[in-house]
């Protein structure tokens, strides 16, 4: 049996064409089914549905042989585990976005940076944010949040947020502006190294099929 860990939503949706290219179709719809283990047309392949942030944990500890996780999630997970137990053979170039700094329009980020002020930053991505501001030599107080980051500058909890941006429409809807791009983000294939040794042929075949089917841009 080969177990692939995916999160519902964009990662699940954007992984489906890659699986199809490998001859695999998931035979249940995760949005209507309550099942967390989904069968495929191939009896030896199954998909497990986990939270996006849990994908690296499942793969690292062998709950799944492989999985698809955003670079954002992998960087935060790696900061705890040093990347141990995860082989990352492929950038799938799906679920693309960027990690950015955003503030209220009336907060002058550039001059706060220039003046060496202490900036309060709320984010789910504490490790990425800490590294980014340390590299720039900017003093920050980091506040860990688990969601709805946009609210932080609007309520006075923080001056800025570090969050994922794709079209910018969520920021715009909350009257925030993107003031700095930190890094481009896409989703990666992650593989459990022990599984790769034990099930080399079928896992290799899957990786190769994914590679041939990658979006070109």
What residues make contact with ligand ATP under the rule CB under 6 A? Answer: 7, 9-11, 51-53, 70, 72-73, 95-97, 147, 164, 166, 185, 187
Nearest-CB residue for ligand ATP: 70
Q: Evaluate the CA torsion angle 52, 207, 4, 194 in order and state its sign.
A: negative
DSSP label of 67? E
| Closest approach of ligand ATP to the CB of residue 181, in Å | 14
Rounded-to-integer distance, Cα 122 and Cα 58, Å? 27
Q: Which is nearer to ligand ATP, 3 or 7 (CB)?
A: 7
Rounded-to-integer distance, Cα 150 and Cα 130, Å? 19
Q: Which is nearer to ligand ATP, 113 or 162 (CB)?
A: 162
| Closest approach of ligand ATP to the CB of residue 188, in Å | 9
| Whole-Å CA distances, 146 to 35, 126, 169 | 25, 11, 20
Rounded-to-integer distance, Cα 216 and Cα 105, Å? 36
| Closest approach of ligand ATP to the CB of residue 92, in Å | 11
Give me the helices (H) in 10-125, please: 10-21, 55-60, 71-81, 109-114
Q: Which is nearer to ligand ATP, 137 or 147 (CB)?
A: 147
DSSP label of 40? B
Rounded-to-integer distance, Cα 215 and Cα 160, Å? 33
| Closest approach of ligand ATP to the CB of residue 12, in Å | 8
Q: Which is nearer to ligand ATP, 131 or 186 (CB)?
A: 186
């Amino acid at each position: 049996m080969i177990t692939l860990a995916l999160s519902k939503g964009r990662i699940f949706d954007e992984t489906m064409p890659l699986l199809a290219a490998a001859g695999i179709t998931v035979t249940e719809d995760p949005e209507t089914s309550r099942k967390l283990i989904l069968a495929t047309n191939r009896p030896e392949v199954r998909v497990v549905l986990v939270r996006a942030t849990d994908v690296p944990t499942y793969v690292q500890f062998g709950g799944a042989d492989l999985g698809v996780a955003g670079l954002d999630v992998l960087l935060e997970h790696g900061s705890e585990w040093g990347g141990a137990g995860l082989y990352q053979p492929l950038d799938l170039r799906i679920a693309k976005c960027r990690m950015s700094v955003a503030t209220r329009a009336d907060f002058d980020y550039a001059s706060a940076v220039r003046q060496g002020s202490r900036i309060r930053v709320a984010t789910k991505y504490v490790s990425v944010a800490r590294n980014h501001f340390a590299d720039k030599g900017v003093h920050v107080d980091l506040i860990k949040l688990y969601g709805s980051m946009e609210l932080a500058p609007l309520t006075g909890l923080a001056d800025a947020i570090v969050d994922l941006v794709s079209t910018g429409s969520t920021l715009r809807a909350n009257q925030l502006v993107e003031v700095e791009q930190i890094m481009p983000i896409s989703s990666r294939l992650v593989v459990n190294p022990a599984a790769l040794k034990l099930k080399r042929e079928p896992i290799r075949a899957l990786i190769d099929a994914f590679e041939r089917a990658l979006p070109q841009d």
